[in-house]
Amino acid sequence: MTDINFSAAIGEANSADSANGPLWSFNGVKMLAGPGGSVILHKLRGDRRVMVQPDVAEALRQCGPFRTIEAHTRRVIESSPLLKEHAEHTHQTLQGLADGGIFESSDTCWQRLTQGDNLRCEQTACRLFVLTCDRPAALDRLLSGLREFPLPLPVEGVWIVDDSRDGENIKENAAIIERQAEGAKVPVVHVDLTFRQDLIQHLKSALPEYRHCVEWFLERSVWGAQPTYGLARNLALLLSVGKRALMLDDDIIPQAIAPPLAAKNLDFATPNEREAQFYASREALSEHALPLPDSPLAMMLDALGQPLPALIAEHLTDHARLVGTDGELLTRHGQASRVLVSQCGSWGDPGTANGNWIFNLPAASIKKLLEQSDDLQGLLSARSHWLGYRGPALTHYGTLSQLTGLDHSVTLPPYLPAGRGEDSLFGIMVQRLHPDCAVWNEGWAIRHENAEDRDHRTAMSPLSAKPGLSLLVDFLGHEPRDQWGLSPAARLTGLAHQVRALATMELGALENIVREELVSKRGALLTRCIDHLKELGAMADLAGAPAWQTFLEQSRDQLVKELQTPEPNPLASVGGVAQDQAGIQQLREHGEQFGNGLEAWLSICEAAATFKA
């Protein structure tokens, strides 16, 4: 039987912090409206319930990281100076909530994460995929680089997925692949147009009822001149069913570079905790590069598909190592959790579409940027940076990596075939299918040296939130409660229904959803923008501070304007492109096709597993 207690308003406590004391985190708790303006705290794990005053609930939002009760008390008091006269009462309130099961101890969390069978499992076979598009010189450089290290034993072959448009480039790629394949110990396969059509025909013959879905996912003619990064990745997924896959962009050099900052132990993090270091040129970047002796492919495969308990036990010694970690990041992980995606940092070109990526960096990295130059735009144009983590880091979802590992021995979703942002959507869908599993981010970076001019991809423009794919990512990131406890296959069907419902719902209802997501996104961006402006106060004397301040102020003003301006037709511009009724209808059709494709995807994967090249 569960007791419901009622806590007093928060007051204050001891300032001493015991370095060896128990660590506690407020996480996994639902805050619900209670009687008389109170707040009901419902801890789902253990089914604990407590009613507290609103000021207590607000203070608890600061208690997510694992700290001692004394440290939590100090943090609460620092944020609410009026509580200084009530330190002891605050301490007692927080300790009472911890004793009552509303907080989670680091020891309990550690047991949940590492108990049971924490041994590594046998590594499944892997296929290596190089994704290339009209860059024969880059492909040749990459394939030559792969000869520097012996391929890891699990790798059973190399597939070059050729998404080139130019026929001459396809011919040149074929000659390069034939030359590079000489003496190779594993098959080297050119996935050219003929190979692709053979696969498509096989799938359509096996699944005539899903022929339109197959074409939508794999036929480039469906997408015209749009970039089809996701289509190439779908080919790799279908050629790796039941196995692991490593996907390599064609403009990387297969060499791992150590982070330029002091290494860290295993961390539980978010994508916004990636750090960066900036260099003025490729020459300066090369001078600071510290190559690692091991194969990046072997290192990338090391954690992929492994049980999370085994990896945590290998990298951390005990529960005290969780100090400072936000417990909310660990709530879904447990004994059955596995690493289904592996990523690494970038050494060189960060691979971003513009210069606004720096907005998501932590304050320490922003400071390093502002120290370098008063010409932030010029520094970003060099595209000579390090972006990543200083050590292995576990996150909930994947973002962007020029070398990516996927464990396709389990159910994985497809990529959106065309456009940009397909990697973020894929990452969110993987999280929806496997909410207890994790992304393993390596603490090193892959060399990424683009050959073409990318000056147009370095511009910093005031932040704005417009209708586009990122809104779909945000929308699907909200997991409905009716998906809890379902199998990955059932969850994929749930995603299909959500996407199809969006595509077919009445226009006014769809516009309201878009407005709600836009307001939410703009609010989050504005909050981060204001936080950056506050942090700028301590960096005002740095060379780049004026330019950074201008960018932040313009972004703040733009976001405030967007929040205050009604949008009678929020779908009139999608992805920055004006949409008339015909354009909106086409968006609906693609949405419905995507939903149908998600529902058919498992059948398509099963049929692909029987394809013989």
Does residue 135 contact residue 251 with C-beta atoms inside 8 Å? Answer: yes
Query: What's the full length of the chain, in residues?
Result: 613
- pLDDT band at residue 342 using 50, 70 and 90 as cut-offs: very high
pLDDT at 560: 97
pLDDT tens across 54-81, in order?
999 999 999 999 999 999 999 999 888 7
Q: Which of 216-220, 275-279, 447-451, 606-610 has the lowest mean pLDDT?
A: 447-451
Residue 603 has pLDDT above 90, yes or no: yes
Angle subtended by helix axes 507-536 and 545-564, to nearest 10: 150
| Greater model confidence, 39 or 571 | 39
Q: What is the pLDDT of residue 561?
A: 96
pLDDT of residue 578: 65
- Mean pLDDT within 179-185: 92
The answer on pLDDT for 90 being more than 70 is yes
Which residue, among 490, 496, 501, 512, has the nearest Cα to 567 in the 3D structure? 512
Residue 17 token pair: 């912090």
Flag whether pLDDT at 573 surpasses 80.
Answer: no
To the nearest whole percent, how much of the chain has pLDDT over 70? 95
Q: What would the pLDDT profile of 203-242 be if each residue is shown by its tens digit?
A: 999 999 999 999 999 999 999 888 899 999 999 999 999 9
* pLDDT surpassing 80 at residue 252: yes
Q: Quick one: pLDDT at residue 12? A: 39
Please list, in sequence order, all residues whose beta carbon lies within 8 angstroms of the beta carbon of residue 252, skipping any fewer than 6 positions away.
142, 402, 403, 446, 447, 448, 449
- In this structure, the strands spanning 48-52 and 39-43 are antiparallel
**SS3 (DSSP) at 116:** coil
Residues 6+ apart with CB under 8 A from 406: 237, 240, 244, 245, 247, 304, 340, 341, 412
Do 251 and 446 touch, CB atoms closer than 8 A?
no
Distance separating alpha carbons of residues 213 and 227, to the nearest angstrom: 19
Torsion (CA) 300, 305, 307, 313 in degrees, nearest 10: -10
Confidence of residue 20 (pLDDT cuts 50, 70, 90): low
Q: How many CB atoms lie within 10 A of CB 331?
A: 19
pLDDT, tens digit, 9 for 90 and up, residues 21-46? 899 999 999 999 999 999 999 999 99
**pLDDT score recorded for residue 540:** 94
Question: What pLDDT is attached to residue 405?
Answer: 98
**Is residue 94's pLDDT more than 90?**
yes
Mean pLDDT of the chain: 92
Question: In which band, very low, low, confident or very high, does the pLDDT at 351 lie, cut at 50, 70 and 90?
Answer: confident
- The answer, yes or no, to whether residue 3 has pLDDT greater than 70, is no
pLDDT of residue 173: 97
Please give the distance of CA 91 from its chain centroid, rounded to a whole number: 37
DSSP summary character for residue 338: B
pLDDT beyond 90 at 400: no
Residue 572 confidence class, pLDDT cut points 50, 70, 90 = confident
Hey, how many other C-beta atoms are within 10 angstroms of the C-beta on 286? Answer: 14
Beta strands in 250-348 (DSSP E): 252-257, 267-268, 275-278, 339-348
Whether residue 10 is predicted with pLDDT greater than 60 in this model: the reply is: no
pLDDT of residue 576: 66
User: Would you state the pLDDT for residue 427?
Assistant: 95
56 touches 39 (CB < 8 A): yes
Task: Say yes or no to pLDDT of 16 above 70.
Answer: no
* Mean pLDDT value of segment 99-117: 91
The torsion angles phi and psi of 275, rounded to 5 degrees, stand at: -105, 170
pLDDT tens column, 464-498: 998 888 889 999 998 888 888 999 999 999 999 99
- Across the range 262-280, mean pLDDT stands at 94
**pLDDT value at position 204?**
98
Share of the chain above pLDDT 90, in %: 80
